[in-house]
Amino acid sequence: MPVKTYWLEHAWLGTHVEPGVALEVGADGRIAALRTGAETPPPGAEVLRGLTVPGLANAHSHAFHRALRSLVQVGSGTFWTWREFMYQVAQNLTPDTYFALARAAYAEMALAGITNVGEFHYVHHAPGGAPYADPNAMGEALIEAAAAAGIRITLLDTAYLSSGFGEAPNPHQLRFSDGTADAWAERVSALKPRGHALIGAAIHSVRAVPADQLATVARWAQERQAPLHVHLSEQTAENEACQAAHGRTPTQLLADHGVLGPRTTGVHNTHLTDGDIALLGGTTTGTCMCPTTERDLADGIGPATRLQQAGSPLSLGSDSHAVIDLLEEARAMELNERLRSRTRGHWTANALLTAATADGHAALGLADAGRLEAGALADFTTIALDSVRTAGPLPRLGAETAVFAATASDVRHTVVGGRHVVRDGAHTLVPDVPSALAESIAALRG
């Protein structure tokens, strides 16, 4: 018997919008059955008006960057000047303040329809680099913050060992570093998955992990069949420094050390050669695009169409949280490509929603999420079709409306594991998300 039944006024089923869908949730938090043609709600069903889609996957997040919003918009500068502001915020984090900020940021994600976050986590130790009594106190704070906000998390514990191609960490980076990849592996092995949390790995970048230690991180992930992510060719300066140090591109360096593959996702993948694209596609290494951050930092527009055509699955992330809106990330990927190519229609709305749902969850190790079908995790979100942004189009164009008109503000419901986390636009676990954000960010001001 189902534990709960939802009636979806309209549901996106991956290829089309279906009116009148009854969705049954089992005791295991999975979709037990999905029935189309339900013109009216079954007795006792919870009614979700609007367009219901699978829960959105935020495949790349740095939770503490949420404290940088607006602060880094004063004046001009580059990625490298932005990074100095980031270091200042990172220095003020403690396990308690990080929990409070991440809980609020993850609650904001739930309000935006995100049911799973890939947290690219590298603030491991106390300022100065001394481990906490629990060496994973910061990672545990993030896992608990996701639980408190009602969403899933893949903690991508990040190896960050160098300030650049073998140079010692700078004073700001000492709390990021475990010293060696072996020490990183020993620490992260103590982290355990739980119902709402998976443990994955990340290589911060080829700058931050010496070449002779890349294989250690890759091997750790391979042994556990865990997702492995890496910032890749975000900046031309990184490419130039890698060529100077190793005589090859960052992508080629990763390939040489066994990092690429179907469980690996390159984040950004902005400045790539034709050979890089062939390597990533040929190994089915994924690509996570973060358009709102990439344009905020003036990084450039990555070759997403060519990567996908070569065989690299696409996912989306909010990265620095200039905004938290996966619908905007999906829209921006298409519109960026239109600006560059001066042609329209590189991806359909269905393809963009797939990047934001099924392919994003797969990049985070959840192949059983991101679809409205029996057996999948009962994670879904409902987008209003009657707001000032979305009113007017026919419901059968709901995918196009969601991607090209709606925003996070149009999310009305978010359900994770069959449980309502956001109901009628209000978070059920964090009563006042704006205050939680304001208070946790104020606590970090030095």
How many residues comprise the chain? 446
CB 70 within 8 A of CB 438: no
Residues 107, 109, 111, 114, Cα dihedral to 10° = -130
Nearest residue to 415 (alpha-carbon basis) of 41, 24, 1, 14 = 24
Q: CA 2 to CA 11: how far, in whole Å?
A: 19
From the list 178, 276, 319, 325, the catalytic residue is 319
Radius of gyration of the chain (CA): 21
Nearest residue to 295 (alpha-carbon basis) of 336, 245, 337 = 336
Annotated catalytic, 319?
A: yes
Query: Amino acid identity of 436?
Result: A
Q: CA 191 to CA 440: how far, in whole Å?
A: 25
Query: Amino acid identity of 146?
Result: A
From the list 268, 271, 321, 361, the catalytic residue is 268
SS3 of residue 340 by DSSP: helix
Q: CA 121 to CA 140: how far, in whole Å?
A: 11
DSSP summary character for residue 314: E
CB 139 within 8 A of CB 123: no
Q: CA 334 to CA 355: how far, in whole Å?
A: 12
Nearest residue to 388 (alpha-carbon basis) of 410, 411, 412 = 410
* Catalytic residue positions, numbered: 268, 319
